[in-house]
Amino acid sequence: MIRPFRYALKDQTPIYVFVSVLFLMGVVFGALMVNALTLEQQQDLSRYLGNFFISINEGGAGFHPMAFWEVAVLHLKWLGLIWLLGLSVIGLPGILILDFLKGVLIGFTVGCLVGQFTWKGLLFALVSVAPHNLIIIPVLLISSVAAIGFSLNIIRSRVLMNRSGSVAGPFVNYTGVTMALGLMMLAASSFETWVTPVMMAWVTPMLESSLTL
């Protein structure tokens, strides 16, 4: 059982590399987008972040941590969309777009924090963005590779008229992998809901003090 898994992983290595590079390109693009903001937009962003950090530090009404199921549903929708796109050949570009977009969102978020608060912003990003994404990003990349692999299997078995194999087996495996990844998403959502806000509260006083300088 281990050998087929090893061979499958070897066969999918180019897809893993391609998806990972695409995601990293999205991160770089998102970080570069910060430099494209106008001065007025940067000032508005700085003002918004400042009020946000003050709300976290003081426990004000502006800071409302999302409930567990709100966070979980958000991540599971993303995972479910990748699974759905993998069921059809025409969904392949959509999977790649989602991976790139995820990288853009993370790159822009981290870029904004570093651009506004330098190393303190980087520290805040490490406690607010990085921890749960260490689980979420691999989950999304694995699900994307599984979706692309299943879609390519449909191309081989249906579009290319190679009907020697059944799609039922790969579909069950594909769905099983997605469900297992969904459990990992729930674990990441738990961390993001109950641990991340506490870590953010530890670091926020440092950023708030820089706003008053």
Q: What six digits make up the tokens of 100?
A: 């790139």
Contact assessment for residue 149 and residue 95, using Cβ atoms and an 8 Å cutoff? no
- DSSP label at residue 67: P
Closest CA to 109 of 157, 68, 69, 52: 52
**Mean pLDDT computed over 14-32:** 95
Q: Count of domains in the chain?
A: 1
- Find where tokens 């004000």 sit: 60
CA–CA gap between residue 127 and residue 51 (Å, rounded): 19
CB-based contacts of 145, cutoff 8 Å, min separation 6: 12, 15, 16, 19
pLDDT tens, 162-173?
A: 555 567 788 899
Which amino acid appears at position 80 of this protein? Answer: G
Handedness of CA 202, 189, 193, 129 (dihedral sign): positive
Per-residue confidence band for 184, with pLDDT thresholds at 50, 70 and 90: very high
Structural element, H or E, at residue 18 = helix 13-35
**Mean pLDDT computed over 59-66:** 57
Instruction: Please state the φ and ψ torsions of residue 165, each to the nearest 5 degrees.
Output: -110, 155
Q: In this prediction, what percent of the chain has a pLDDT beyond 90?
A: 48
Per-residue confidence band for 141, with pLDDT thresholds at 50, 70 and 90: very high
What would you report as the CA-atom Rg of the chain, rounded to the nearest whole angstrom? 20
User: What average pLDDT does the structure give for the chain?
Assistant: 84
Per-residue confidence band for 2, with pLDDT thresholds at 50, 70 and 90: very low
Instruction: Answer with the residue of higher pLDDT: 198 or 52.
Output: 198
Domain that holds residue 35: 2-211
Structure pTM? 0.86
CB-based contacts of 27, cutoff 8 Å, min separation 6: 103, 104, 106, 107, 110
Please calculate the CA angle 163-165-171 and round it to the nearest 5 degrees.
115
